[in-house]
Structure formats: structure tokens, C-alpha cells
């Protein structure tokens, strides 16, 4: 398809970048741009009984998705949901404890994998697709709608550890001691994630991002098996059904393995964590669009430190396809005014 035959590309800067174009002013959005650093988010959050209720109430989820768009005019809106809704939809108990993060009834071994029910995933996630449909009507025409899911390895870490782990002992022992049994869990997640992303695209998501937040804790062979292979399977299957929809991969902490991840998964763009040097970012940009990678703590600090961080990244990556973002999610302590300043600096260059 030529650029001319994609009318959305002429008005949507994010789609232009993801289809390989360099732009004088890069498109920008921030991971976790809807969230607790915004007073208007905290107000809506207080109206929901629980965090999952917020994710499954289209009225509220649409509202919090739109809040950062209204306030800042980002180039993309990311659907408000969570990566752990897939574990919930497979039948695992998931809940969120204020100040502690997600908790899940931990899965250990093949019996708990056998209890998961992949057929329940799409019906249980119907409210999320309704949120996507409403967002397609509510967003400004130049704003791109991003859908997302957790990648299988990262979702499996939460499912096996029962929450955010510290050393990943339980999930690693499962994967190393019983690779076939653990592989069945990964296969279920590949299937569920493929269907989930497909349904988001059918509802109106124009781009999808796969968050592999814990990709960086694995040795090389395990990284290939549990990060690259499942991601490639999902990308292949999504692209077979929706060849024009860009997929962004975020294998956080992949270090030296970013290049293999890009080459072997066929993602259209790669989101870089804060530790990735501009030399590697520039090399990756020869193959795909790159997204990133300002340290979220620089947006807490603001001022000259933040301005220098923005300039370093934007100067290094301006001549290729590039999406400005953070290297990980924005943190709750971020002063909302510093995000305004980030946009003024980036767009005023």
C-alpha cells in the first residue's frame, strides 16, 4: 500500500512514524499517561469500587483514557485497561491492593494451567471492546488509538508469582524444571493474547503494543524461548488478519538482545527502556521505528535535567522513524506541569 492510499496517515503523525517516516517534530505519547499523577484520574478512580471495575466500566475507562488527551494533546491515546485482565479472563483470581499493586492466586504446576479456560477470554473482555468502540468516536481525528496486551512471558510471571516478583524464583523454577508444562501456559497466553488484540483491532484500535516488562530477567536461551518465540507467534497471527496494523514491541531490559528481538519477531516498532544507548537506538532505527526512552524520573525532576534528556534523544533519533516516549511508565509523583514542559520543549525545537 502506498502512503497516499492510507488516508489516516496524512493526518496522524503516530501512524506516519510507525510506517517508517522521519518527521521534524516527532509524535509523542507517554506510557501510563492516564494514571495517578493526574488529579482528574484520582477523582474517577475514587468512584470505581475496584481497579478492575474501572477497567470494565466503559463510561469510566473512556473518560480516563481521554483525560491526558484533553490536558496535553498527545498524538496517541492508549486504551485504559491493564495487562492482567487476560489472567482474570482466563479464570484466575486477580485483585489490586492500594499501594501494593496486583495480587493473583498463584499458579504452580500443570494442574493450575489445566484449569484455565481460553474460551472465556473474549466474552469476559467485552467491556474493554466497548471502551475501544466508544473511543474511536470520541478522539480528535489526528489522535491515534493504541490497544495493548502484556506479552506471554510477563503475564505468566504475574500468574505464577501471584504478583510482582522480586527475584522471579517461582516462575523461573517452573520454566526451567518443567518447560513442557510451562510451555502449555505460554501457548494458552499466545492464543488468548492473539484473540484479545484481534478483537481490540476489530473494535477500532489502530496500533497495538505488547508490553514485556520482565523480558530483561532471562538468560539468552530462555529469552529466545519465552520472549522472542511467543512474540513472533502473536505478531505473525495478528498480521495475517490485520496486515496494515503496526505492532510495537517493548521487551524491557533486553539489553544486547534488542537487535535479535527486532529481527526475529517482525515487530514494526520497538519501545526502548531507559538504559538503551543512542548508538544502539540508532542501529535499531535502520530496521524499524523506535520509541522511547526518557527516564521517567527526569520528568519528576523537570527543569534543565529533563530538557537535556529530551534533547539528547530527539537529536539522536530525528533522522529516522521515531516516536517520543518514556523508557517506562510515568510515575505517580510526576508534577503534571512537567509534562506540559516536556511537550513545549519537544514540539518547540
31 binds ligand CP3 (CB under 6 A): yes
**Segment near ligand CP3 (CB under 6 A); pick from 77-85, 233-241, 258-266, 286-294:** 77-85
Rounded to a whole number of angstroms, the minimum distance from the CB of residue 212 to ligand CP3 is 8
DSSP-derived letter for residue 163 is B
Q: Of 290, 280, 277, 278, nearest to 320 (Cα)?
A: 290
34 binds ligand CP3 (CB under 6 A): yes
Concerning whether 41 is annotated as a catalytic residue, the answer is no
- Residues in binding contact with ligand CP3, number by CB under 6 A: 21
Query: How far apart are the C-alpha atoms of 2 and 9, rounded to whole Å?
Result: 10
80 binds ligand CP3 (CB under 6 A): yes
Q: Of 154, 148, 197, 193, nearest to 175 (Cα)?
A: 154
35 binds ligand CP3 (CB under 6 A): yes
Q: Which of residues 195-254 bind ligand CP3 (CB under 6 A)?
A: 211, 213
Residue 58 near residue 131 (C-beta atoms within 8 A): yes
Q: Which three cell numbers stand for residue 110?
A: 500443570
Rounded to a whole number of angstroms, the minimum distance from the CB of residue 329 to ligand CP3 is 4
Concerning whether 187 is annotated as a catalytic residue, the answer is no
Within 10 angstroms of residue 253's Cβ, the number of other Cβ atoms is 18
CA 332 to chain centre: 18
E strand or H helix that includes residue 210: strand 207-212
Within 10 angstroms of residue 152's Cβ, the number of other Cβ atoms is 28
171 binds ligand CP3 (CB under 6 A): no
Concerning whether 344 is annotated as a catalytic residue, the answer is no
Candidate list 16, 37, 75, 82, residue with the active-site label: 82
DSSP-derived letter for residue 261 is H
Candidate list 6, 8, 21, 32, residue with the active-site label: 32
Concerning whether 75 is annotated as a catalytic residue, the answer is no
Concerning whether 241 is annotated as a catalytic residue, the answer is no
Binding site for ligand CP3 (CB under 6 A): 31-36, 45, 51, 78, 80, 82-84, 96, 101-102, 148, 164, 211, 213, 329
Amino acid at each position: 500500500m502506498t502512503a497516499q492510499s492510507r488516508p489516516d496517515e496524512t493526518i496522524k503523525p503516530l501512524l506516519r512514524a510507525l510506517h517508517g517516516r522521519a518527521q521534524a517534530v516527532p509524535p509523542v505519547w507517554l506510557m501510563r499517561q492516564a494514571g495517578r499523577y493526574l488529579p482528574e484520574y484520582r477523582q474517577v478512580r475514587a468512584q470505581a469500587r475496584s481497579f478492575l471495575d474501572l477497567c470494565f466500566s466503559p463510561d469510566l475507562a473512556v473518560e480516563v483514557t481521554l483525560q491526558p488527551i484533553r490536558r496535553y494533546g498527545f498524538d496517541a491515546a492508549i486504551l485504559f485497561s491493564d495487562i492482567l485482565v487476560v489472567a482474570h479472563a482466563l479464570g484466575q483470581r486477580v485483585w489490586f491492593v492500594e499501594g501494593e499493586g496486583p495480587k493473583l492466586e498463584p499458579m504452580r504446576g500443570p494442574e493450575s494451567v489445566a484449569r484455565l479456560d481460553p474460551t472465556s477470554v473474549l466474552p469476559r473482555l467485552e467491556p474493554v471492546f466497548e471502551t475501544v468502540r466508544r473511543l474511536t468516536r470520541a478522539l480528535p481525528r489526528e489522535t491515534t488509538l493504541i490497544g495493548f496486551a502484556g506479552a506471554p512471558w510477563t503475564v505468566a510471571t504475574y500468574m505464577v508469582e501471584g504478583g510482582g516478583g522480586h527475584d522471579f524464583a517461582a516462575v523461573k523454577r517452573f520454566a526451567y524444571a518443567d518447560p513442557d508444562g510451562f510451555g502449555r501456559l505460554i501457548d494458552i497466553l499466545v492464543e488468548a493474547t492473539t484473540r484479545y488484540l484481534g478483537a481490540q483491532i476489530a473494535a477500532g484500535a489502530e496500533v497495538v503494543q505488547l508490553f514485556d516488562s520482565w523480558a530483561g530477567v532471562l538468560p539468552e536461551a530462555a529469552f529466545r524461548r519465552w520472549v522472542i518465540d511467543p512474540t513472533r507467534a502473536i505478531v505473525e497471527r495478528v498480521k495475517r488478519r490485520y496486515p496494515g496494523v503496526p505492532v510495537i514491541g517493548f521487551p524491557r531490559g533486553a539489553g544486547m538482545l534488542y537487535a535479535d528481538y527486532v529481527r526475529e519477531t517482525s515487530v514494526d516498532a520497538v519501545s526502548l527502556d531507559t538504559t538503551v544507548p543512542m548508538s544502539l537506538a540508532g542501529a535499531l532505527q535502520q530496521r524499524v521505528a523506535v520509541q522511547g526512552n526518557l527516564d521517567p524520573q527526569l520528568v519528576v525532576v523537570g527543569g534543565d535535567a529533563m530538557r537535556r534528556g529530551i534533547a539528547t534523544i530527539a537529536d539522536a533519533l530525528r533522522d529516522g522513524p521515531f516516536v517520543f516516549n518514556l523508557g517506562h511508565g510515568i510515575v505517580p509523583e510526576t508534577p503534571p506541569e512537567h509534562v506540559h514542559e516536556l511537550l513545549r520543549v519537544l514540539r518547540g525545537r
